[in-house]
Every structure is written in C-alpha cells, then in structure tokens.
Amino acid sequence: MEGKERERKGKSSQFKKRKRKPCIFCIDDKKIDFKDVAFVRRFMTDRGKIAPRRLSGCCALHQRMVATAVKRSREVGLVPYMVD
C-alpha cells in the first residue's frame, strides 16, 4: 500500500501548473489589424492554421478577435489558407 501512495505523490508533482502569461492585447492596448501581415502571421502556425490560445497567449476575447482578423486577411488574399 505504501508503494502505491508513493507513486501517486510522484505523479501529482510531475504535472505542475505553470503561470499563464498575460494577454498582450490587454496589457499594451494594441489594436488588431488584419492588414498588418507580419502581426497576423504571429498568430498562425507554420502550416497556416490559427494558433490556439495556449500558444498565442491571448485571452478568450482577444483570441476570437485574432481569429476573425486571420480569416479576414485570408479572404482579402494577404495570407494564404494553407502553406505548401
């Protein structure tokens, strides 16, 4: 029984919660502009997908705005839908 308790304690300390980094839009009051291609690409993966919140570091509100900006820039033709 003692061996199982030690295993449980070891596993729980294995997955420590990291402190979330604050949203860059909330801190700096930056505006999201779909015409700024370099800024929009920052929130995309190398394959052309929209990066999730855990990678982009945005709050939920600004992540939705980023997704809309990426979709608009794709529609206009500034950013490709998929990268070869």
Per-residue pLDDT of the chain (84 residues; tens, 9 = 90+): 565 555 555 555 677 777 777 898 999 888 899 999 999 999 999 999 999 998 999 999 999 999 999 999 999 999 999 887
Position 21 scores a pLDDT of 79
Position 30 scores a pLDDT of 84
Closest C-alpha to 50, from 68, 25, 67, 74:
67
- CA–CA separation, 69 and 38 (whole Å): 12
Position 53 scores a pLDDT of 92
CATH number of 33-83: 4.10.640.10
Domain assignments of the chain as residue spans, ordered by start: 33-83
Position 3 scores a pLDDT of 58
